[in-house]
Amino acid sequence: MRTVIRGGRVIDPAHQIDMVTDVFIADGRIAGIGRPPDGFSVERLIDARERVVCPGLIDLCARLREPGHEHKATIASEARAAAAAGITTLVCPPDTDPVIDEPAVVEWIRRRAEAAGQARVLTLGALTHGLRGERLAEMAALKEAGCVGVGDGGRPIANTRVLRRALEYAATFDLTVFLTPLDPWLGQGLAHEGRVATRMGLSGVPAAAETGVLARDLELIRDLGVRVHFCRLSSARSVELVARARAEGLPVTADVAIHHLHLSEIDLAGFDSRCHVCPPLRGERDRDALRAGLASGALDALCSDHQPHDPDAKQAPFGDTEPGISGLDTLLSLSLHLTRTDALALPAALERLTWGPARILGLDRGHLGIGAPADVCVFDPVREWRVTADHLRSRGQNSPFLGWDLPGRVTQVLLEGRVIYEGGQD
Amino acid sequence: MRDAEFLIEAMAVQLRELLARRGIGEPALVGIHTGGVWVADRLRQRLEVAAPLGKLDISFYRDDFSRIGVNPQVKPSELPFDVDGRHLVLVDDVLYTGRTIRAALNELFDYGRPASVLLAVLVDRGGRELPIEAHVAGSRLELPAGSHIQLTGPEPLQLLLQNTP
Amino acid sequence: MSASDVQLDRQGRLRHFLTVEGLSRRHLIEILDTAESLHGVAERRVKKLPTLHGKTVVNLFFEASTRTRTTFELAAKRLSADVITLNIAQSSAVKGESLLDTLRNIEAMQCDMFVVRHQQSGAAEFIARHVKPHIAVLNAGDGRHAHPTQGMLDAFTIRRHKPDFAKLQVAIVGDILHSRVARSLIHALNILGVAEIRVVAPRTLLPFAVESLGVRVFLDPREGLKDVDVVVMLRLQKERMEGALLPSEPEFFERYGLTEERLALAKPDAIVMHPGPINRGVEIDSRVADGPRSVILEQVTNGIAVRMAIMSITLGNHAHPAGENL
């Protein structure tokens, strides 16, 4: 269907476009910006005045809970929630049950996502069989089946020799490796090792649990030529380490979860299990450094680190609850919230949500170049909404942002030219 | 406002006579916190009682705990003598419903089994809800339910009468 | 949303007792004074008060404990309450049942108070947030977070020997890191205005930035014990050796154990405390534990009065005037 999105503020960070103009779409692809291609006849018009038009968001980490934990959420429920939140591409990490360590699981997820017909779901394969950190997974086959990379799925490989070989093997097949830098021993704890944990009597995870492993990994990959993406950095020092490695020419990238930019250890007050996350919420200085790292580009991408839970998973004393925040619904709005200060401009924020992750994944998406797949998000950047359980479309209601007033309502979302979400009038 | 000292003198006269009649030579006085302790202290001096003064705080024995909880100014009860077989004089400032005395008697019996207990009060204002009467009273009056009588002290001891409309 | 919001009612009175942190001096003094008036009950012919007659207290112990459970039971019984103790740690019937389900089931038995011990920090607060409003919750120890009745009985014991808190120097020695007792005592003593609180331990047994709790850190007991009025020794769990926090019990005793020689560094009239149960020859020498300066057994006795005080205050604050039905 030939569509024109008329009169919106078009922000395409990949091409440094930020102007009020029209976007023309034909055959599921971007056909023109500002000017229609020859012979374009409009079949559908989307009025985008007072709205922002940008590439559909790409979320580098969303647990969809399927297969394995369908009582928490399903691919269909979460892909629908993603679409309504302006996210057109979701990356599912390999820690499903069964683990994504063989092509059949990749294929199964792909089919479930297609049937849902909402946001696109991409998968990361496991680095090791069963994510157990012992034997290598069949990475070449996983790549062939469609995995956009391989990773540890949040379960870091303790054995350095296995890790190094996994990196070498991945490099052989030109696979980007997604690593979670967390020491398996120092990482055992419930909260950031700081004053708050001391006061509350929660076992602490020092920042060194992250930076120590990160520094080691950066040394390990020095001569391997493997592309590594570091997932969910949480401390100020980590931002420095990654920035320095990149300045030295190492092919590394990194992301941060949106909640680490808004919350800190202080939010654990009252043993609020909704703030039980891994890596833990750290100090305010870390939070500020992560914000600065995102603004400077030291951090390439912003993700939801979506982890929907059933109510029981969070209804227990803090240490008995499962970590994670349901984040799809609030990813865009919390990002916009960051741009209210001068620290982060709107185009830069959108870059970390679109072109940034697309580059990490090596995708020809996340931009509005002529001929690119027309994954587009249209939103009202000003209108506020109050985060309530009723507004959360994800099956998981475990959000510490309930009750917050946030800017940004998504009005239309297109996936390859097809409108998969229209709303935001409520 | 009325000076309480002359009422205490009246109590002392009655009590001395009563003790003599009953042949009680060595009584022990037990005051109920707070006003009862003030009165008992003065009676003890006037009667030249040898036994040290006993003090009861009946906060934990009140029958209205589930309505008003524990008094945050609760004081320790002290009975610095053996209660068993002793003749006691329980002293309070105002006798009204009788519930305080019931609570005090319950507490006394948790310390031991006295030979007898006499009740001496500064003012008996009527309005009893329990079968309890004072052996000795400095003054007996019938006050309407809305009025409030209170002893202030310890120096000077004065009775405060308030009529709430 | 802090613990104070949960444990105090709108008039600022204690309705639960979850942590000492955030309470005012007035709250603590009320507890200490009330405990003082209850202290004599144990010496009477009838060691019982009718205060909680007709109330039901449930001890919910998710973590094994003999001493704390017994003193809470005794405290409730001396106040004439009916007491049930559920050792959920050992009860296989509860396995697989969520904490909230367990709670709902026990609530259905018409109880008035839960005394909770749990291995997770914050468990008592979690329960307080979820119980019906007429139920009072007492924290009998949650993870490493708090053991407020122990903190108060320690403060009570100190006050009976050294009434002027403002003049005191108190040293807490041993495993501060894992100690809910230490955390609660530190908060209590700070609120009561103690001149100086010291923690004495090797670095492995000190939590991160422990000074932020309002204490001075001493790695060397020879300095830490100098001229103190009170020495509180903490229990050293055997598991600490396996966690690579300490090399051995003898080495710990050698460096940090309370011996007569080490105690001689403190003021001549210093008292020695320990929350129990003690490990003789690990954190404390028998001659000190059984010596004239030790008030360890007094602590046990005082624990009953302090728990009676806290039970009657919190349940009393759940009281409501007749006619104003909740």
What DSSP string runs through A144-186? Answer: HHT-S-EE-TT-----HHHHHHHHHHHHHTT--EEE----TTT
Residue C204 pLDDT more than 50?
Answer: yes
- CATH label of the domain that carries residue A126: 3.20.20.140
- CATH label of the domain that carries residue B43: 3.40.50.2020
Q: Binning pLDDT at 50, 70 and 90, where does residue C131 land?
A: very high
Which residues touch C11 (CB under 8 Å, ≥6 apart)? none
In a domain? residue C324: no
Catalytic residue selected from A300, A305, A329, A380: A305
Residues of C in contact with B84 (CB under 8 A): 45
Residues of C in contact with B83 (CB under 8 A): 45
How do A405-415 and A418-422 pair as beta strands?
A: antiparallel
What DSSP string runs through A245-295? Answer: HHHTT--EEEEEEGGGGT--GGGGGGG-GGG--SSPP--HHHHHHHHHHHH
Mark whether C290 and C162 lie in a shared domain.
Answer: yes
Residues of B in contact with C45 (CB under 8 A): 83-84, 110-112
Mean pLDDT in residue range B108-126: 95
Asked if C45's CB is within 8 angstroms of B70's CB, the reply is no
Mean pLDDT in residue range C46-74: 93
Q: Binning pLDDT at 50, 70 and 90, where does residue C75 land?
A: very high
In a domain? residue B70: no
What DSSP string runs through C166-178? Answer: GG-EEEEES--TT
If you measure CA to CA, which chain A residue comes closest to C5? A270
In this complex, the residue of C46, C51, C317 whose CB is nearest that of residue B60 is C51
Asked if A270's CB is within 8 angstroms of C2's CB, the reply is yes
Asked if A319's CB is within 8 angstroms of C120's CB, the reply is yes
- CATH label of the domain that carries residue C310: 3.40.50.1370
Residues of C in contact with B73 (CB under 8 A): 33
In a domain? residue A67: yes
Residue B34 pLDDT more than 50?
Answer: yes
Q: Binning pLDDT at 50, 70 and 90, where does residue C42 land?
A: confident
Q: List subunits contacting chain C, requiring 3 or more Cβ pairs under 8 Å.
A: A, B
In a domain? residue B17: yes
> Which tokens go with A424?
């935001």
Mark whether C185 and C305 lie in a shared domain.
Answer: no
Work out the percent of chain B whose per-residue pLDDT is above 90: 75
pLDDT digits (tens, 9 = 90+) for A113-162: 999 999 999 999 999 999 999 999 999 999 999 999 999 999 999 999 99
Mark whether C65 and C128 lie in a shared domain.
Answer: yes
If you measure CA to CA, which chain C residue comes closest to B84? C45
Mark whether C180 and C281 lie in a shared domain.
Answer: yes
In a domain? residue C34: yes
Q: Is B1 on the interface with C (CB under 8 A)?
A: no
Within 10 A of A9 (CB to CB), how many other CB atoms are there? 17
In this complex, the residue of C45, C54, C318 whose CB is nearest that of residue B111 is C45
Which pLDDT score, from 0 to 100, does residue C324 have? 40
Residues of C in contact with A185 (CB under 8 A): none
Q: Is B73 on the interface with C (CB under 8 A)?
A: yes
> Which tokens go with B103?
């609570």
Q: Binning pLDDT at 50, 70 and 90, where does residue C326 land?
A: very low
Q: CA–CA separation, C209 vs A146, rounded Å?
A: 48
Q: CA–CA separation, A91 vs A94, rounded Å?
A: 10
Asked if C49's CB is within 8 angstroms of B60's CB, the reply is yes
Helix (H/G/I), strand (E/B), else coil: C64: coil
In a domain? residue C91: yes
User: What part of B 76-95 touches C (C-beta under 8 Å)?
Assistant: 76-78, 83-84
Mark whether C163 and C273 lie in a shared domain.
Answer: yes
Asked if A317's CB is within 8 angstroms of C123's CB, the reply is yes
Question: What are the start-end ranges of the H helices in B32-119?
Answer: 35-47, 65-68, 99-111
In a domain? residue C128: yes
Q: Does an interface of 3+ CB pairs under 8 Å exist between A and B?
A: no
pTM across the whole model:
0.92
- Look at chain B and report how many structural domains it folds into: 1
Mark whether C79 and C187 lie in a shared domain.
Answer: no
Residues of C in contact with A317 (CB under 8 A): 99, 118, 120-123, 126, 142-143
In a domain? residue A154: yes
In a domain? residue C187: yes
Residue C320 pLDDT more than 70?
Answer: no
Asked if C312's CB is within 8 angstroms of B72's CB, the reply is no
Q: CA–CA separation, B135 vs B139, rounded Å?
A: 12
Find, among C148, C167, C151, C188, the residue nearest to C25 by Cα.
C188
Catalytic: A18?
Answer: no
Highest mean pLDDT of the ranges B158-162, C71-75, C101-105: C71-75
Looking at CA atoms only, how far is residue C291 from chain B in angstroms? Answer: 30
Mark whether C251 and C272 lie in a shared domain.
Answer: yes
Q: Binning pLDDT at 50, 70 and 90, where does residue C322 land?
A: very low
Q: Is A320 on the interface with C (CB under 8 A)?
A: yes
Spell out the per-residue pLDDT of chain A, length 426, in tens: 899 999 999 999 999 999 999 999 999 999 999 999 999 999 999 999 999 999 999 999 999 999 999 999 999 999 999 999 999 999 999 999 999 999 999 999 999 999 999 999 999 999 999 999 999 999 999 999 999 999 999 999 999 999 999 999 999 999 999 999 999 999 999 999 999 999 999 999 999 999 999 999 999 999 898 999 999 999 999 999 999 999 999 999 999 999 999 999 999 999 999 999 999 999 999 999 999 999 999 999 999 999 999 999 999 999 999 999 999 999 999 999 999 987 899 999 999 999 999 999 999 999 999 999 999 999 999 999 999 999 999 999 999 999 999 999 999 999 999 999 998 655
This complex has an ipTM of 0.93
Which pLDDT score, from 0 to 100, does residue A383 have? 94
Q: Is C145 on the interface with A (CB under 8 A)?
A: yes
Mark whether C142 and C152 lie in a shared domain.
Answer: no
Looking at CA atoms only, how far is residue C322 from chain B in angstroms? Answer: 6
Domain span including residue A148: 56-361
Do residues A91 and A255 make contact, with C-beta atoms less than 8 angstroms apart?
Answer: no
Domain span including residue C227: 148-296
Residue C323 pLDDT more than 50?
Answer: no
- Look at chain A and report how many structural domains it folds into: 1
Q: Binning pLDDT at 50, 70 and 90, where does residue C95 land?
A: low
In a domain? residue A345: yes
The arrangement of strands across the sheet holding B158-163 comes to B2-3, B158-163, B147-152
Which pLDDT score, from 0 to 100, does residue B165 have? 57
Do residues A282 and A194 make contact, with C-beta atoms less than 8 angstroms apart?
Answer: yes
B55 forms beta bridges with B31, B78
Q: How many CA atoms lie within 13 A of C260 on its CB side?
A: 6
Asked if B106's CB is within 8 angstroms of C51's CB, the reply is no
Mark whether C306 and C252 lie in a shared domain.
Answer: no
Mark whether C96 and C173 lie in a shared domain.
Answer: no
Asked if C320's CB is within 8 angstroms of B61's CB, the reply is no
In a domain? residue C323: no
The one-letter code for the residue type at B128 is R
Q: Is B66 on the interface with C (CB under 8 A)?
A: yes
Which pLDDT score, from 0 to 100, does residue C238 have? 77
Find, among B126, B108, B106, B122, the residue nearest to B12 by Cα.
B122
Q: CA–CA separation, C83 vs C55, rounded Å?
A: 9
Mean pLDDT score of chain B? 92
Mark whether C250 and C212 lie in a shared domain.
Answer: yes
Domain span including residue B131: 2-63+75-163
Work out the percent of chain C whose per-residue pLDDT is above 90: 81
- Look at chain C and report how many structural domains it folds into: 2
Q: CA–CA separation, A336 vs A330, rounded Å?
A: 10
> Which tokens go with A395?
């099956």
pLDDT digits (tens, 9 = 90+) for C208-244: 999 999 999 999 999 999 999 999 999 998 777 778 8
Q: Does an interface of 3+ CB pairs under 8 Å exist between B and C?
A: yes
ω into B156 cis (within 30 of 0): yes
Phi-psi region of A233 (alpha: psi -120 to 50; beta: other; left: phi over 0): beta
In this complex, the residue of A199, A269, A316 whose CB is nearest that of residue C99 is A316
Q: CA–CA separation, C275 vs C150, rounded Å?
A: 7
Beta strands in A44-114 (DSSP E): 44-47, 52-55, 57-59, 87-92
Within 10 A of C141 (CB to CB), how many other CB atoms are there? 26
Residues of B in contact with C25 (CB under 8 A): none
User: What part of C 157-186 touches A (C-beta under 8 Å)?
Assistant: 180, 183
Q: CA–CA separation, A206 vs A182, rounded Å?
A: 10
At residue A166's C-alpha, the angle toward residues A163 and A169, to 5°, is 150
Cα dihedral C199, C203, C207, C210 sign:
positive
In a domain? residue A304: yes
Burial class (CB in 10 A: 0-12, 13-18, 19+), C208: middle
Helix (H/G/I), strand (E/B), else coil: A364: coil
Q: CA–CA separation, A307 vs A305, rounded Å?
A: 6
In a domain? residue A233: yes
The one-letter code for the residue type at C280 is R
Residues of C in contact with B106 (CB under 8 A): 50
> Which tokens go with C18?
């979850």
A413 forms beta bridges with A377, A421
Question: What are the start-end ranges of the H helices in C82-216?
Answer: 99-107, 123-130, 148-161, 180-191
